[in-house]
Amino acid sequence: MDKRPIVVLKKNTTDKILTVLALAMISFMWIYSILYYPLLPDTIVTHFDFNGKPNDYGSKNTIWILPGITTILMILFKILGKRPDRFNYIVNIDESNAAFQYKSAVRMLNLLALNISFLFSYILYKLINGCLTQHSELDIWFIPILLISVLTPTFYFVYSTTKKKRKV
């Protein structure tokens, strides 16, 4: 790998907002889980099939997995975002495009963190609400929204960063 330029990125308002929103979703997950854990039955839905129907059950202690995974992913995304010079890019990185490429990569991570935290919050909400109402089911539109919300930013940022070399 060629030696890539190190660029210190300034935190901008958009990335701060994406981070705050993701943290709000993660906070919601922990608070919601803590508040409703005592009300959950001993056995809860732990998995849904492609159609949104429950297809696996387990201990109510598994409720902590979604907030835990989401928190770990957020931390990992933030750690990764500190060294965008180590990412794989489909264009050559040099002094003329490094800032734009790194900024785009970090923005994509922040947007993915928000999307994942939102989707996992929705799953957790539906799971807990389903246990309390005896109607555990994800909406039919969940899988298409999941795919769109994760793939669209990825494809957009890949496209926008290969369109032309930009200077920041």
Q: Write the pLDDT tens digit of every residue in 28-71.
A: 999 999 999 999 999 888 888 877 788 888 999 999 999 999 99
- C-alpha torsion 95→96→102→105, nearest 10: -140
Q: Which residue has the tokens 């429950």?
A: 54
Which residues make beta-bridge pairs with 47? 56
Based on its alpha-carbon atoms, the radius of gyration of the chain, rounded to whole angstroms, reads 19
DSSP designation for 61 = G
**What is the mean pLDDT of the segment spanning 20-35?**
97
**With pLDDT > 70 as the criterion, what percentage of the chain qualifies?**
96
